[in-house]
Amino acid sequence: MPPRKKRRQPSQKAPLLFHQQPLEGPKHSCASTQLPITHTRQVPSKPIDHSTITSWVSPDFDTAAGSLFPAYQKHQNRARHSSRKPTTSKFPHLTFESPQSSSSE
């Protein structure tokens, strides 16, 4: 006979305590409400120059389409010239009309 399956014990861990509430409020109705943190630390920051932030980075690879691996190019060409015939939809195309506004009446 195979051994019996062990029963799962209910978790003995304490619930997680968060320092801040979710931005959109509690996700579940059973969630406890907590007061916001009042002891925050202010840290000075430096302005970032976005024009020079990546000036030290030099890419190792050419991003042009001709630099792809030959096997990958062959696969792309085969996919472009697929022998499948174009499929037509079984269902009619949906057309949407804008609703008439009631303020014009």
The pTM of the full predicted model, rounded to 2 decimals, is: 0.16
Alpha carbons 21 and 35: distance in angstroms, whole number:
8
Each residue of 75-103: pLDDT tens digit?
Answer: 666 656 556 666 677 788 788 887 766 55
Alpha carbons 65 and 72: distance in angstroms, whole number:
11
Q: pLDDT at position 72, please?
A: 64
Each residue of 50-70: pLDDT tens digit?
Answer: 776 666 666 666 655 555 566
pLDDT band at 47 (very low <50, low <70, confident <90, very high): confident
User: From residue 96, how far is each of 11, 92, 93, 99 by CA, in Å?
Assistant: 52, 13, 10, 9
